[in-house]
Amino acid sequence: MSRRIDTSLLPEMVKYGASDIDACFNCGSCTAICPLADNDAIFPRRLIRYAQLGMKDRLAASKDVWMCYYCGECSATCPRAAEPGEFMAAARRFAIAQYDVTGLAKLLYKSDWFNVLFTIFLTVLFSLFMISFERPAPHAQLALFTFIPEIYIRTIALTVAGIAALIGMVGLVRMIRGILREGNLSFTPGGHQRLNWPTALWNTLVVEVLGQTRYRDDECEEEQATPWPVRKWFTHATILYGFLGLFGATALDFLFKPVGSYVPLYYPMRLLGTISGILLMYGTAAALIKRLQKRDKATTYSHASDWILLILLWLAGLTGFGLELADYALLPVTWGYTMLVIHVSLVLDLFALLPISKFAHIVYRAVALFLYNLRPVEQTEESGLAPAKV
Amino acid sequence: MPEDLEPRTSENAPEEEEPRIGVYVCHCGGNISDVVNCEKVAATLARLPNVVVGRTHMFMCSDPGQSTVQEDIRKLGVNRVVIGACSPFLHEATFRRAVSQVGLNPYLYYHVGIREQDSWVHHSTPEAATEKAIRLMAAAVAKARGLEPLDPIRLSAEKHGLVVGGGVAGLRSALDMARVGLQVTLVEKSPFIGGRMARLHRIFPTDDDAHAILDGLIEKVAGHPNIKIYTRAEVTGFKGYIGNFQVTIRQDSRGFEGDVQHLDQAVAACPIEVPDEHNYGLTTRTAIIRPHESAYPPVPAIDWEHCTLCGACVKAIGGAGIQLQNQPETYELTVGAIVIATGFRPYEPRTGEFGYGEIPQVVTLPQLERLLAADGPTGGKLELLGGPVRRVAMIHCVGSRQIEGVHEPQADGQINDYCSRVCCTATLRAANEIRERFPETEVFDLYQDIRTYGRGHEEYYQRASKNRVLFLRYLGEEPPDVAKTEGDTYPVTVKVKDYLTNGEEMEVPVDMVVLAVGMMPTHIESLSKMLKVSPGTDRFLLEAHPKLRPVETSVPGIVLSGTAQGPMNIQESSAAGSAAAAKAMALLGQGTIQLDPFVAHVNPELCQGSGECVAVCPYEGAIELRTTIEKGKEVRRAVVTPANCKGCGTCVGACPHGAIDLLGWTLGQYEAMLDALVMDIPVLEEA
């Protein structure tokens, strides 16, 4: 079946941030140099071609956009300076916007100003919500959940998380259906083929997400020559571990710790939170500095959505430490309350925006990697545990 | 016959002297000596009769190498020289010059190619190669014994050049020749000069206005006192040889004289309607061909082929200036050289090829050029069939790079398998112009390979992608399909298997399809047959050697200019035009032409006038029978015209009386060489 050409997609991709992609003449140097492209994931050239011809459905339903970690090798070697790496980033934004049912993601990605203003608006909204309740005058001693009753925080947090989860689930379903359709794949392949689900899960969650293997495979020579604490995969890993640690500490607190009770610094959940917070702040600070310095191709063309995610995470970490200091009476009480309002608002921002912001990659990339790793049993056994690579 | 045309042996030659042969073997810096034992060759040959010296040298062609030979001629009295070295194509002329510098006749030198013919092809068998070198050079020594001094043939040359074709290449050649003082006659078949370029609009690589450039050239040509222009004229007769070609030119009447008043009324009165070739058939014209803006000559012409001589035009303007009768005139002239600048014609697609001729939205690239031109049928607006064009698909390689079995052959049974070279950049130039002048019009470019090879050409490709021209790549075996669509916003759909998208079939709905048609030679079969210049397999005229004799034909004195020789852009055509002029000037500038004396020579005492030689001679006017009075009797004898003789030797074999010999390559010399090739060489046995 032939497909009709649609010339409106390429200008659309420019709005998503692929500002130099007009220069592309399809030579394929980008795919040739890409350390991650293989027979099962051919990019960036093919995806750029989809954009040029207007194959919206193909582009949005390609798991390949999530196979790229933006090392920038393609952009550095592109003979036309078409910045294919930046196109891949734009394609991920486009994909998130396509999965999003609310239509908000489109608006956020296509206008930097709207993105910034909307985030500030959301933060202010959450803050106002929290201080809008009748509350007793501040005590001399810090009593956070007297200042804002815990039930309010819990209610709004669960509401925001619920809505976000709903939007995210719809997005995930759309994504998975698209990938299966365009890739001509099925979870129930015919014949005697059985899919190797455990291996795919292991490869995705342990090897890729926790091990950051592809991120490390993606390193170019210059990157390998940089000291490990500022390597991209390492800073990314600290952000990821920090976030997961804080998420876990908060969840455990919520389940086991009496609300508002005092615990010493060595209390396990507190200790986990503190260490995770340090990792998160270190990672986000390093990433922000790299973007400010424009150290390489991947950090040169920062989009509003890149800045916002890092800044929200960094500020959430900062205010978290503020709260911790206040908790040990190292900061004045009023500071403590201010920190609480800002910290909770920022965390709510992060969760509210999770399915439509850059943060969404934590889910979409993981699922795309899972689908990439999901192979028939015969194939995975042949090549050992890891999926066949070319 | 002029006195200087007599073939003869050199007058300066000393009578019957004993041959004293010098033999030299070149190492060629190892090219020869790595395989052939040069010292052994020289030593062996030095022992042959008449050989007075045998030497080797690292590079015989170097100055010290040449002086060695010159010293031996002076001091040892060497009077025949044999050198074994590279191919004679490279250095025969070098050594002829070297020996003549010290007073030896240059034709007493003989060159043996022991590099190409020996060391390079026998590098695995050095001993056999050495023996082969000895035998080849022994044969040369045998020939050298019989060498006679010769004088080159000198022909007087008419300082007058004929240029056939008044396009940009012909104009360039004419102007360059006229500027050095040659007389030039320019013959153009159509009523106006300027050729195909006059129908172009803007030209790469500078986006210049084609007319601005062409008009400047025409003005200089038309105003040059040395150039005479014949439009509506053709070459109808031809004979002679380099320096002295007798040419007949036939010229049709124009039908109009001088400044024509009320031309509009005359045109309006004409009832004839035929496609206007100036607009490549996009419009029609009457039987009065009006000069386009800046045409030269600025006088209209009657289209005799279509005019019915009804006289309506004469009536309309009262007859002034119109001569409704074609009275062709013929002119005879003698020219020294002929420049063929007959140009090209754009490939005319078959009816139905990419929808051409069936779907009105399908046009050719030359037609698009007319649509974009300010003086074109739409006044420069991009409109087709009365409506604006929103989307254009441009298909490359139409009528070029054709594949046997995929493309239907032409009327002559051949396919155009060559690349026309110009269309890629020309198409991209037009694509850019569309995108820049009409930004709302989208352009799709369907190509096989983009071959923007020249300086400034690749920039058009880059500009095109910057201008968002969308490229789709098809394979030669799977050309795109153009079909009419009903009930769509776009009237035509182009389907293409796009190899930039893994061979996926794409549909491109468009308003207009432009076929980038290739170049084909003009119909000059009768001219090329008459002048005996031969076309290549692609039907374009063939040069004698692509690098060593780039614009010469195999006929001395006839040179090629521009696209008659193959697809070229304007820049290359102009360069070829200048090259052709330079070649003609080099031939005619001295007023005489020198040729090698290796031509047939008839011994009048043996000739019986049988005429066998004339019957077999493949060259016109090279040998003929003449009746002379000998001892009071009328006898017929064969006479050679050296200027026309190529020295092929056919007549030598045909003569039943052994009366003909080839100077420099006599039968006696051949026999001596053969004997030497098979003789026992004592030294070889010893070794």
CATH of the domain at B388: 3.50.50.60
| Residues of chain A positioned with their CB less than 8 A from the CB of B442 | 7
B683 in a structural domain: no
- Asked if B334 and B241 sit in the same domain, the reply is yes
Q: Which of A1, A4, A49 sits opposite B501 (nearest CB)?
A: A49
- Asked if B633 and B510 sit in the same domain, the reply is no
Check CB contact of B468 with chain A, cutoff 8 Å: yes
Check CB contact of B62 with chain A, cutoff 8 Å: no
Classify B228 as helix, strand or coil: strand
Handedness of CA B277, B279, B285, B291 (dihedral sign): negative
A222 in a structural domain: yes
Q: Which residue is associated with the tokens 């649509």?
A: B371
- pLDDT (tens digit per residue) in B438-463: 999 999 999 999 999 999 999 999 89
**CA distance from start to end of chain A:** 30
- Which of the pair, B379 or B561, is modelled with greater confidence? B561
Residue B91 pLDDT more than 50? Answer: yes
Domain count, chain B: 5
| Residues of chain B positioned with their CB less than 8 A from the CB of A80 | 462, 465
- Asked if B512 and B542 sit in the same domain, the reply is no
- Asked if A186 and A55 sit in the same domain, the reply is no
- Asked if B511 and B365 sit in the same domain, the reply is yes
**In chain B, which among 390-449 make CB contacts under 8 A with chain A?**
442, 444
Strands (E), B399-503: 442-447, 470-473, 481-484, 492-498
A191 in a structural domain: yes
CB contact under 8 A, B462 and A2: no
Domain count, chain A: 2
Q: In angstroms, what separates the C-alpha of A5 from chain B's closest C-alpha?
A: 6
Domain boundary (A99, A124, A147) is at A99
Give me the interface pTM, i.e. the ipTM: 0.79
Domain boundary (A79, A99, A119) is at A99
- Asked if B121 and B193 sit in the same domain, the reply is no
- Asked if A94 and A129 sit in the same domain, the reply is no
Average pLDDT of the segment spanning A274-286 = 96
- Asked if B502 and B527 sit in the same domain, the reply is no
**What whole-number percentage of chain A has pLDDT above 70?**
94
Q: Which of B471, B473, B495 sits opposite A2 (nearest CB)?
A: B495
Residue B297 pLDDT more than 80? Answer: yes
The string of DSSP letters for A93-154 reads HHHHHHH-SSSHHHHHHH-HHHHHHHHHHHHHHHHHHHHTS--PPPPSS--HHHHTTHHHHH
A4 in a structural domain: no
- Asked if B48 and B182 sit in the same domain, the reply is no
A387 in a structural domain: no
CB contact under 8 A, A49 and B466: no
Query: DSSP alpha helices (H): ranges in B438-524?
Result: 458-466
- pLDDT (tens digit per residue) in B45-83: 999 999 999 999 999 999 999 999 999 999 999 999 999
Q: Which of B466, B468, B507 sits opposite A5 (nearest CB)?
A: B507
- Asked if B492 and B536 sit in the same domain, the reply is no
| Residues of chain A positioned with their CB less than 8 A from the CB of B468 | 7, 10, 22
Check CB contact of B639 with chain A, cutoff 8 Å: no
Residue A147 pLDDT more than 60? Answer: yes
Provide the domain limits for residue B433: 348-520
**CA distance from start to end of chain B:** 57
- Asked if B491 and B358 sit in the same domain, the reply is yes
Check CB contact of A52 with chain B, cutoff 8 Å: yes
Give residues with Cβ within 8 angstroms of B490, minimum separation 6. Answer: B390, B391, B509, B510, B511
Task: State pTM to two decimals.
Answer: 0.79
Which of A1, A3, A5 best probes binding to B when mutated, by most B CB atoms within 10 angstroms?
Answer: A5
Residue B10 pLDDT more than 80? Answer: no
Residue B13 pLDDT more than 60? Answer: no
CB contact under 8 A, B507 and A3: yes
Give ∠ CA B442-B448-B450 in degrees, rounded to 5. Answer: 75
* Closest B-chain CA to A24: B465
If you ran DSSP here, which 8-state letter would residue B533 be given?
A: -
Check CB contact of B502 with chain A, cutoff 8 Å: yes
Provide the domain limits for residue A35: 9-99
Q: How far apart are the C-alpha atoms of B384 and B363, rounded to whole Å?
A: 10
- Asked if A93 and A229 sit in the same domain, the reply is no
Q: How far apart are the C-alpha atoms of B477 and B44, rounded to whole Å?
A: 62
B258 in a structural domain: no
Looking at A34-48, B121-135, B258-272, which range is the least confident one? B258-272
Q: In angstroms, what separates the C-alpha of A50 from chain B's closest C-alpha?
A: 8
CB contact under 8 A, A22 and B466: yes
For the domain that residue A38 is a member of, what is the CATH number?
1.10.1060.10
- Asked if B529 and B501 sit in the same domain, the reply is no
Q: Which of A1, A23, A46 sits opposite B466 (nearest CB)?
A: A23
Cα dihedral B485, B490, B494, B495, rounded to 10, equals -70
Domain boundary (A65, A99, A133) is at A99
Domain boundary (B274, B291, B325) is at B325
β-pairing verdict for B383-384 and B387-388: antiparallel
Check CB contact of A39 with chain B, cutoff 8 Å: no
B677 in a structural domain: no
Check CB contact of A31 with chain B, cutoff 8 Å: no
**What whole-number percentage of chain A has pLDDT above 90?**
60
CB contact under 8 A, A5 and B462: no
- Asked if A38 and A182 sit in the same domain, the reply is no
pLDDT in the model for residue A385: 46
For the domain that residue B36 is a member of, what is the CATH number?
3.40.50
Q: How far apart are the C-alpha atoms of B34 and B124, rounded to whole Å?
A: 11
Average pLDDT of the segment spanning B611-635 = 89
pLDDT in the model for residue A1: 67
Cis peptide before A44 (omega within 30 of 0): yes
**What whole-number percentage of chain B has pLDDT above 70?**
97
- Asked if A15 and A79 sit in the same domain, the reply is yes
- Asked if A149 and A29 sit in the same domain, the reply is no
Q: How far apart are the C-alpha atoms of A323 and A148, rounded to whole Å?
A: 14
User: How would residue B7 be classed by pLDDT, with cut points 50, 70 and 90?
Assistant: very low
- Asked if A45 and A137 sit in the same domain, the reply is no
B421 in a structural domain: yes
- Asked if B69 and B116 sit in the same domain, the reply is yes
Check CB contact of B485 with chain A, cutoff 8 Å: no
- Asked if A220 and A308 sit in the same domain, the reply is yes
Residue A189 pLDDT more than 80? Answer: no
Q: Are B459 and B205 in contact (CB under 8 A)?
A: yes
B295 in a structural domain: yes
Check CB contact of A14 with chain B, cutoff 8 Å: no
A210 in a structural domain: yes
B679 in a structural domain: no
- Asked if A88 and A160 sit in the same domain, the reply is no
A370 in a structural domain: yes
- Asked if B26 and B109 sit in the same domain, the reply is yes
- pLDDT (tens digit per residue) in A339-352: 999 999 999 999 99
- Asked if A39 and A173 sit in the same domain, the reply is no
| Residues of chain A positioned with their CB less than 8 A from the CB of B506 | 2-5, 53
Which of B392, B462, B500, B511 best probes binding to A when mutated, by most A CB atoms within 10 angstroms?
Answer: B500
User: How would residue A220 be classed by pLDDT, with cut points 50, 70 and 90?
Assistant: confident
A293 in a structural domain: yes
- Asked if A23 and A109 sit in the same domain, the reply is no
Q: In angstroms, what separates the C-alpha of B208 from chain A's closest C-alpha?
A: 25
B88 in a structural domain: yes
Q: Which residue is associated with the tokens 């610094």?
A: A265
pLDDT in the model for residue B8: 47
CB contact under 8 A, A22 and B465: yes
**What whole-number percentage of chain B has pLDDT above 90?**
79
CB contact under 8 A, B470 and A7: yes
Q: How far apart are the C-alpha atoms of B605 and B637, rounded to whole Å?
A: 9
- pLDDT (tens digit per residue) in B398-419: 999 999 999 999 888 899 999 9
- Asked if A120 and A149 sit in the same domain, the reply is yes
A366 in a structural domain: yes
pLDDT in the model for residue A259: 79
Residue length of chain A: 390
Residue A297 pLDDT more than 50? Answer: yes
